[in-house]
Amino acid sequence: MSVNSVTLVGRAGRDPEVRYFESGTVVANLTLAVNRRSKEDEPDWFNLEIWGKQAQVAADYVKKGSLIGITGSFKLDTWKDRNTGETRNKPVVRVDRLELLGSRKDSEMSNPQNQSNYSSRQTDEEIPF
């Protein structure tokens, strides 16, 4: 028996990068910072890959700092470096389910119309990711 299942809750490290293909397929890539139990420890960072309708939800609603939960599977992307010819790889979590966990207030704070109120209280430099 084999199981490849990943469940994470954390904050988006950046706005999703979204690509639309001619076939109509959508993919979103972003990073997720997951805090450890001890506040002194640095967060763990994960690369996320989201496809289809879930990717469109990420594109529309997830912004840097958004609290999200995901379930998916681990995969290792492998490719040849164009400059050196070396084999490179990157661990990625392919997301099957995305849950928006932040409150409505959190999403209003990331809305550009309300950004001026928020930015006077907290800057990007104060956010740890």
Distance of CA 91 to the CA centre of its chain: 14
Q: Name all domains of the chain by residue range, CATH numbers in brackets.
A: 6-122 (2.40.50.140)
Confidence band for 119, pLDDT divided at 50, 70 and 90: very low
pLDDT tens per residue across span 84-111: 989 999 999 999 999 999 766 555 555 5
- pLDDT value of position 107: 55
- pLDDT value of position 120: 36
Which of helix, strand or coil describes residue 31? Answer: strand
Model-level pTM?
0.75
Q: What percentage of the chain exceeds 70 in pLDDT?
A: 79
- pLDDT value of position 128: 53
Lowest-pLDDT choice from 23-32, 36-45, 55-64 = 36-45
- Cα distances (angstroms) measured from residue 41 to each of 34, 46, 48, 72, 109: 11, 16, 22, 25, 27
Question: Residues of 9-43 as b/e, b for ≥16 C-beta within 10 angstroms?
Answer: ebbbbebbebeeeeeeebbbbbbbbeeeeeeeeee
For the chain, what is the mean pLDDT? 84
